[in-house]
Structure 1
Amino acid sequence: MLNALFVTLIIASFAAYFYYKTKQFRSTLPIQKKWYKAKAGIALGLFVVFFGLNTFVVQDSTLGYVVGAVFIIVGLMEAYSSYKRAKHEGKFVQQEYELNKQ
């Protein structure tokens, strides 16, 4: 049951990553590109975290716990730094849009 939940969260976070990366490539405004890149980084960090949590559930060994812990730590660091970037750049997205609309 827990494994199915983590697999669903892994798929959802990968889909969010793919969505934001696509939005990043299609965007023409520089700050908006950075904002979408940061949002994709959050989704990627969550993907790695959920993968690490799933490793805890699936692999019942010391090596599995170590690998899962490393994945969780790296994923949390990526998600947190991307969250800070997205929060900062999100302030300027609307302003940039207003300046560049015609």
Structure 2
Amino acid sequence: MLNALFVTFIIVSFAAYFYYKTKQFRTSLPIQKKWYKAKAGVALGLFVIFFGLNTFIIQDTLLGNIVGVVFVVVGLMESYHSYKRAKHEGKFVQQEYELNKQ
């Protein structure tokens, strides 16, 4: 049951990553590109976290636990860093849009 939940979260976070990466490539405004890149980074970090947590469930060995811990730590670092970037750059997205509106 828990495995199915983590697989669902893995799929949703990967879909969010793909969505924000597509939005990043389709926009032409520089700050908005950085904002979408940071949001994609948060989704990627969540993907890695859920993948690491799923590794704990699937492989109950010492090596599986080590790999799971590494994935969770790397995912937490990526999500935290990207969240801070998205929060900072999100303040300027509307302002940039208003300046470039024609």
Q: TM-score range by the shorter chain?
A: over 0.9
Give the TM-score, by structure 2 length: 1.00
Number of residue equivalences: 102
Aligned residue for 1:2?
A: 2
User: What residue identity is the alignment partner of 2:70?
Assistant: V
Which residues in structure 2 correspond to 1:61-100 (within 5 Å)?
A: 61-100=61-100
Q: Displacement of 1:65 after TM fit?
A: 0.3
Q: Structure 2: how far apart are the matches of 1:75 and 1:60?
A: 20
Aligned residue for 2:18?
A: 18
Structure 2 residue matching 1:60: 3-state secondary structure = coil
Q: Displacement of 1:98 after TM fit?
A: 0.3
Aligned residue for 1:39?
A: 39
Root-mean-square deviation (CA, aligned residues, Å) is 0.2
4+ long deviations beyond 3 Å: none
